[in-house]
A = this chain, B = another copy of it.
Amino acid sequence: MPAIAGVHLTALKAGIKYKGRDDLLLVRLAPDSSVAGVFTRSTTASAPVQWSRDVVGRGKARAILINSGNANTFTGKQGHADVKRTAAMAGRIGGCKASEVLIASTGVIGEPLPVDRIERALSRIKSRARTASWLQAAKAIGTTDTYPKGASFRVDIAGSPVMLSGIAKGSGMIAPDMATMLAFVFTDARIPPGILDELLRESARESFNSITVDSDTSTSDSLILAATGQAGNPAPKSKSDPSLKAFRTALKELMTDLAIQVVRDGEGASKFITVDVIGANSTANARKAALSVANSPLVKTAIAGEDANWGRIVMAVGKSGAPLDQQKLCVSIGGIAIARSGGRVSGYDEREVATHLEGANIQIEVDLGVGRSRARVWTCDLTHDYISINADYRT
């Protein structure tokens, strides 16, 4: 993945929770960079989320400090003081005010942030250090992730070539809204903060907000988009500016790519599942039905067991409350129609579906039979490994 002009990365070993690996990432942004953010809707949002919401509200930032191993959530007044202190520290290194530093933390909830360790690590930064790679950066922000997640695109805005690069980390506690714990997307394009915010929200809906691993929403979910303006393109006038067409498409593709990487790495996942709901009477209801299927433990365990138990899909659609016509409801797995007109397709041969379920990419489609709206969500199966990872996460 190529570097982005105006983005400087430093990965550090602070020893917050993990030993012998990078767990702190300082991102320095060129002066006058625009930022936008989307955060968890949790009412117990972490101290860093509360801080970063304010920074993003001003539309400008010069640095992002990200740590893994401790979420600094539900840590009371101390938690807020710790955020302020680390932001000030990062600001000194980045040559900016604390109020221009975004903070993101991921890891265990409720334990005090070891600020001293973060301070010690930051104090080791050399003034002329070379930028770290995206790979190093993606590794530094990971927790239970089994692989680093990144994606990159190159497009033009009004004739100027611009770059987009992003990194993300999962991998449990993934549910809309928001759907990933942390994702950071950078571009060297020049885009004013208001437009950047609109572009981010538009792309988030069909990417990070359409994935789910276990229906649990984190207190720390943060998605940040930063634009350094170093590409020298003329600033667009609005989200709908024709010069932004390729950029919008690339941003959506990049974020979808990252979101899918997150869900593929769902804790304990052995299969990647795409759920399409069509024939709904509204997009909201299509989405509701799709998420109900994607979050159903009974559907997810059946797929882990490669069992073509399509009745559980019917159950999950039924419990969602999305309007449907039982006499028109259709269910297919792997493109093979199983149920139609309120019952099993005559002559249905389960072996074909069984073969599809042996694969790693599972496709489920449900037609509710009451309209033309549709939604797609992505999830993974529910396996013994999910239990193993989560029954004993903290030790």
Query: Are A393's CB and B302's CB within 8 A?
Result: yes
What's the Cα separation between A318 and B343 when bound, in Å? 40
CB distance from A108 to the nearest CB of B (A): 6
Query: Are B297's CB and A216's CB within 8 A?
Result: yes
* Residues in chain B near residue A297, CB distance under 8 A: 214-216, 297, 382, 386, 390
CB distance from A351 to the nearest CB of B (A): 14
Contact of A315 among B79, B173, B339 (CB under 8 A): B173
Decide yes or no whether A305 CB sits under 8 A from chain B: yes
What's the Cα separation between A298 and B389 when bound, in Å? 10
Query: Are B43's CB and A324's CB within 8 A?
Result: yes
Decide yes or no whether A304 CB sits under 8 A from chain B: yes
* Residue of A44, A320, A324 with highest tally of chain B CB at under 10 A: A44
Query: Are B44's CB and A301's CB within 8 A?
Result: no
Contact of A342 among B76, B314, B324, B329 (CB under 8 A): B76
* Residues in chain B near residue A304, CB distance under 8 A: 387, 391
Query: Are A311's CB and B216's CB within 8 A?
Result: no
Decide yes or no whether A319 CB sits under 8 A from chain B: yes
Query: Are A307's CB and B391's CB within 8 A?
Result: yes
Interface segment among A67-75, A157-165, A255-263: the answer is A67-75
Decide yes or no whether A105 CB sits under 8 A from chain B: no
CB distance from A217 to the nearest CB of B (A): 4
Query: Are B319's CB and A73's CB within 8 A?
Result: no
Decide yes or no whether A395 CB sits under 8 A from chain B: yes
Give me the interface of A with B, judged by CB distance under 8 Å.
40-45, 71, 73-79, 108-112, 172-173, 175, 214-219, 295-298, 301-302, 304-305, 307, 309-312, 314-324, 326, 329, 338-339, 341-344, 382-384, 386-388, 390-395
> 12 A-B residue contacts at CB 8 Å?
A43-B322, A74-B314, A76-B341, A77-B343, A109-B311, A110-B338, A216-B297, A216-B312, A307-B392, A307-B394, A307-B395, A382-B387
